[in-house]
Amino acid sequence: MATSMVVLATRPPEWTREQFTLWWRGEHADHAMRLPGLQAYRHGEVVFDYDHADAPAWDGHAVLTFASRDALDAALKSPQWAAAVAHVGKMKGKRICLVTEEDDLFFRKAGPSAGRAAT
């Protein structure tokens, strides 16, 4: 079963949402992509918050997926992780960082042909 680190984050107060997204998907992603054992790395920009429609509570999320919890733990002990953390520095945004074990419910319920175009 895959293990993921899920991060919700807000931008530093002096940054625009666009600056933060460009930074996260650009130079910060360059650091994260070097993590040993990383199998997938997805980023989402928050475009609407149903709970806070006037001012979203979060600016984005990332999902970093590894084969196992052991693989994630090894990545978190690596010099590449230390470099990624140093790159964030003291940005003054807030974050929530969770470790999850994932189950692909879509695939499990719909089967291997789910989502494929009819031919």
Q: What is the pLDDT of residue 119?
A: 46
Say how far apart CA 117 and CA 113 lie, in whole Å: 9
Q: How confident is the model at residue 116 (pLDDT cuts 50, 70, 90)?
A: low
- 2-34 pLDDT, tens digit per residue, is 999 999 999 999 999 999 999 999 999 999 999
- 37-64 pLDDT, tens digit per residue, is 999 999 999 999 999 999 999 999 999 9
Name the architecture of domain 3-103. Answer: 2-Layer Sandwich (3.30)
Please state, for a pLDDT cut of 90, what percent of the chain lies above it.
76
| E runs forming strands in the chain | 3-9, 38-45, 60-66, 95-101
pTM of the model: 0.84
Q: How confident is the model at residue 113 (pLDDT cuts 50, 70, 90)?
A: low
Q: How far is CA 6 from CA 10, 16, 19, 34, in A?
A: 14, 22, 21, 17
Domain residue ranges of the chain, discontinuous segments joined by +: 3-103
- 67-81 pLDDT, tens digit per residue, is 999 999 999 999 999
